[in-house]
């Protein structure tokens, strides 16, 4: 079904960004525009989601070119759900930024770039054209480069050099893959590719092409041997930026993998095995890294890597149950990881540091906020009935059914290490008294109430959504079930994109 | 023609990977640029090189009698060039800023001990 509203989530952030460019250096106006724009973004995303949920897959042909020739935008359940969750996370980050980002950074265009980044994310989820996906990826990374370097401190630039080099490298691999794919099939439309790729005589070449995509998306989503840029850069930018990156950017890599490997390169046994091995190693190295870090944000960075492994494993098994687990985990992870970095930012505001050794006494001073935070932490660890628990049930169940014992072991190890580091963080930062002789600068206490609300409210919103997902798991599981159906049986997607040719 | 382009692409990719693995930041930059150029030529080559044909199919033609020059790879390359231009410009400024701050060109010096800030 053709629908012009598909691009709403992209355009709303584009226009918000442009309006903010007009209000250049007027930081108060920019904050208002950002809040309103992101809120409208959430409403539009909800509308798109309900529409896709009731009417099925929506498509839009750019400039009315028929499907395999022009660029096509497709909103299926996976895309629209991710757009919805991204919009919610972006709304929370936007509120948090209005207090959590220094005025200097706002003066140099933090808000416009943030909205261009979210626009890129929404575009990447909605496009149905592989080259267009590459272009959205570039929109994302160039915005993220600016956000990462904004402020220009030495550590920040250090992190940015690594981040930049590896992300450009990933894009080049992706582009190479797209080039070869065009060379062997003569198409760029993902639905069309899905049909044409089967007709290629040289299936070995197809396998090599898929390796390029795996490499490119693997770097983006921080899979085992390619993740080193992540922990060495995500702790450097301001927390609101790190929240966007940690919650959303690596997940685009996962989304692209889900899309490309379900639609174009159906995983064969070798790819599946490879993904399983990568998943196990990713979980293992990520959790080992998290064990030794004492800086909250570095710890979270390793947890991102660890939890990416959970999802890669689900893709590697590529059965319906495993995909349900992966998708559920993906939704949960975006919300919770964004929230974790916002919490890190809040702690930084309260204590002026994020080092576990010098933190302390947060629970005694802020009991209510701590109780809110502990809900998020429980959800990350996966205490039932919160959202982190359900996907693991599916993943472990399916891994057991397929005899992937190494993956089960890694999953349990990863969950256990998460529990351990979060418990340690809780006791060090919240329960322990402030260590003797530490000068703490509490910027949070003297803040006016409005600013305090702006810092805590986004965490509350995201926590509410997480709790909703956890308690209303039935709905999310049904949703993930439908999405998994669409991923395994791609016929509806292909028909929705290509069938308009006849009319 | 194709043969030479294949060699050229191989050289670009090889040189790019080699330069990225070096420790100097300038070489890293050059390596990224080489890889980007290599990818562009690869798309050009894989799109099929046709000499002296128009990029459109004759209106009266009932089928692909003649090979025509495919315009898509060229538009893809154009997009990729613009993007890599922007990325390279950003990378140059970033590396220059970093050089001004750290006064070193060695990528191994990118490991300042953990610092508490922000």
Distances, alpha carbon A135 to alpha carbons A86, A131, A318, B66, in Å: 19, 6, 27, 32
B38-74 confidence digits (pLDDT tens)? 999 999 898 878 777 777 777 776 666 566 778 888 8
User: What backbone torsions phi and psi does residue A266 show, to the nearest 5 degrees?
Assistant: -65, 125
> A165 and B20: CB-CB below 8 Å?
yes
Q: What is the pLDDT of residue B56?
A: 74
DSSP assigned state of A434: P
Query: Tens digits of per-residue pLDDT, B79-96?
Result: 999 999 999 999 999 999
Residues contacting A450, CB < 8 A, separation 6+: none
Measured between CA atoms, how close is B70 to chain A, in angstroms? Answer: 10
Distance, CA of A310 to CA of A319 (rounded, Å): 14
Chain A within 8 Å of B43 (Cβ-Cβ)? yes
Interchain pair B94, A161: CB under 8 A: yes
SS3 A396: helix
Tokens of A190: 């993902």
Of all residues in chain B, the one with the smallest CA distance to A148 is B94
Going along A24-132, which residue ranges are E strands? Answer: 58-61, 72-75
Q: Which residues of chain A have pLDDT under 70?
A: 1, 438-439, 500-503
Look at the block and give the residue holding tokens 């990818």.
B39
Q: Is the pLDDT of residue B10 over 90?
A: yes
Question: What are the counts of helices (DSSP H) followed by strands (DSSP E) for chain B?
Answer: 3, 0
Residue pLDDT, tens place only, A440-469: 777 778 888 888 888 899 999 999 999 888
pLDDT at A330: 93
Taking the domains of chain B in order of start, what are their residue ranges?
2-52+77-105
pLDDT band at B116 (very low <50, low <70, confident <90, very high): very low
Closest residue in A to B91 (Cα–Cα): A164
Chain B nearest-CA residue for A355? B116
Written as six digits, the tokens of A62 are: 């750019």
Q: How far is B87 from chain A (nearest CA, A)?
A: 7
CB A184 within 8 A of CB A265: no
Torsional class of A25: left (φ above 0), alpha (ψ -120 to 50), beta (otherwise): left
Handedness of CA A67, A69, A73, A74 (dihedral sign): positive
Inter-chain contact A239–B118, Cβ cutoff 8 Å?
Answer: yes
Look-up of token digits 């416009």: A112
Q: What is the pLDDT of residues A421-441, one digit of tens each?
A: 999 999 888 888 877 776 677
Q: In this predicted structure, what is the pLDDT of residue B63?
A: 66
Separation in Å, CA of B110 to nearest CA in chain A: 6
- Among the listed residues A298, A452, A299, A439, the one whose alpha carbon sits nearest the alpha carbon of residue A366: A452
Min distance B92 CA to chain A CA atoms (Å): 10
Question: Is pLDDT at B113 greater than 70 in this prediction?
Answer: no
- Collapsed DSSP state (helix, strand, coil) of residue A44: helix
pLDDT at site B112: 65
Q: Are residues A161 and B72, on separate chains, in Cβ contact within 8 Å?
A: no
Q: What is the pLDDT, as a whole number, of residue B108?
A: 78
Question: Which stretches of chain A sit within 8 Å of chain B by CB?
Answer: 131, 135, 138, 141-142, 145-146, 149, 152-155, 157-158, 160-162, 164-165, 168-169, 171-172, 175-176, 178-180, 182-184, 186, 188, 235-239, 295, 298, 348, 353-355
pLDDT at A502: 47
- Give the CA distances from residue A307 to residues A17, A282, A400, A448, A479, in Å, rounded to whole numbers and listed in that order: 32, 8, 19, 37, 21
Nearest-Cα residue of chain A relative to residue B70: A186
Inter-chain residue contact A142 with B86, CB threshold 8 Å: yes
């Amino acid at each position: 079904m053709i629908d012009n509203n598909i691009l709403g989530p992209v355009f709303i952030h584009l226009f918000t960004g442009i309006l903010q460019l007009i209000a250049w250096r007027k930081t108060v106006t920019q904050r208002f525009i950002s809040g309103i724009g992101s809120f409208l973004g959430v409403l539009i995303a909800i509308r798109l989601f309900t529409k896709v949920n009731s009417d099925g897959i929506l498509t839009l042909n750019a400039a009315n070119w028929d499907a395999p020739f022009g660029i096509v935008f497709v909103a299926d359940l996976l895309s629209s759900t991710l757009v919805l969750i991204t919009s919610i996370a972006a709304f929370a980050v936007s509120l948090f930024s209005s207090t959590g980002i220094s005025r200097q950074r706002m003066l140099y265009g933090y808000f416009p770039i943030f909205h261009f980044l979210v626009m890129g994310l929404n575009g990447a989820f909605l496009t149905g054209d592989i080259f267009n996906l590459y272009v959205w990826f570039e929109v994302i990374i160039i915005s993220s480069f600016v956000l990462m370097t904004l402020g220009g401190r030495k550590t920040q630039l250090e992190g940015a050099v690594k981040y930049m080099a590896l992300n450009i490298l990933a894009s080049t691999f992706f582009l190479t893959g797209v080039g070869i794919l065009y060379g062997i099939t003569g198409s760029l439309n993902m639905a069309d590719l899905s049909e044409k790729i089967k007709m290629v005589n040289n299936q070995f070449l197809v396998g090599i092409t898929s390796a390029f995509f795996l490499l490119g998306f693997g770097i983006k989503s921080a899979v085992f041997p390619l993740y080193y840029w992540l922990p060495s850069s995500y702790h450097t930018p301001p927390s609101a930026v790190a929240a966007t990156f940690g919650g959303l950017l690596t997940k685009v890599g996962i989304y692209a993998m889900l899309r490309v490997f379900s639609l174009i390169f159906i995983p064969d046994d070798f790819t599946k095995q490879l993904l399983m091995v990568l998943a196990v190693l990713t979980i293992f190295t990520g959790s080992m890294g998290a064990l030794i870090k004492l800086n909250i944000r570095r710890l979270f960075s390793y947890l991102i890597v660890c939890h990416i492994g959970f999802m890669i494993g689900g893709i590697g098994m590529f059965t319906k149950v495993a995909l349900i687990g992966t998708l559920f985990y993906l939704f949960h992870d975006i919300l919770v990881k964004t929230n974790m970095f916002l919490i890190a930012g809040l702690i930084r505001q309260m204590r002026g540091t994020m080092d576990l050794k010098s933190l302390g006494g947060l629970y005694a001073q802020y009991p209510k906020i701590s109780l809110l935070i502990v809900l998020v932490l429980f959800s990350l660890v996966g205490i039932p009935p919160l959202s982190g628990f359900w996907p693991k049930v599916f993943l472990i169940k399916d891994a057991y059914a397929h005899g992937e014992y190494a993956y089960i072991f890694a999953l349990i190890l990863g969950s256990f290490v998460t529990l351990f580091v979060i418990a340690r963080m809780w006791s060090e930062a919240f329960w322990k008294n402030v260590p003797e002789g530490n000068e703490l600068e509490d910027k949070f206490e003297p803040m006016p109430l409005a600013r305090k609300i702006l810092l805590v409210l986004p965490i509350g919103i995201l926590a509410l959504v997480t709790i909703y997902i956890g308690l209303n798991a039935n709905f999310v599981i049904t949703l993930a079930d439908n999405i998994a159906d669409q991923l395994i049986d791609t016929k509806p997607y292909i028909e929705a994109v290509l069938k308009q040719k006849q009319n | 023609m194709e043969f030479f382009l294949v060699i050229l692409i191989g050289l670009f990719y090889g040189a790019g990977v080699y330069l990225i693995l070096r420790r100097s930041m300038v070489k890293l930059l050059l390596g990224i640029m080489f890889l980007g150029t290599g990818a562009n030529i690869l798309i050009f080559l894989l799109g099929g090189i046709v000499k002296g044909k128009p990029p459109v199919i004759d209106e009266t033609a009932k089928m692909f009698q003649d090979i025509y020059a495919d315009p898509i790879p060229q538009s893809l390359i154009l997009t990729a060039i613009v993007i890599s231009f922007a990325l390279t410009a950003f990378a140059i400024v970033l590396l220059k800023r970093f050089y001004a701050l750290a006064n070193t060109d060695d990528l191994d010096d990118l490991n300042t001990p953990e610092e508490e800030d922000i």
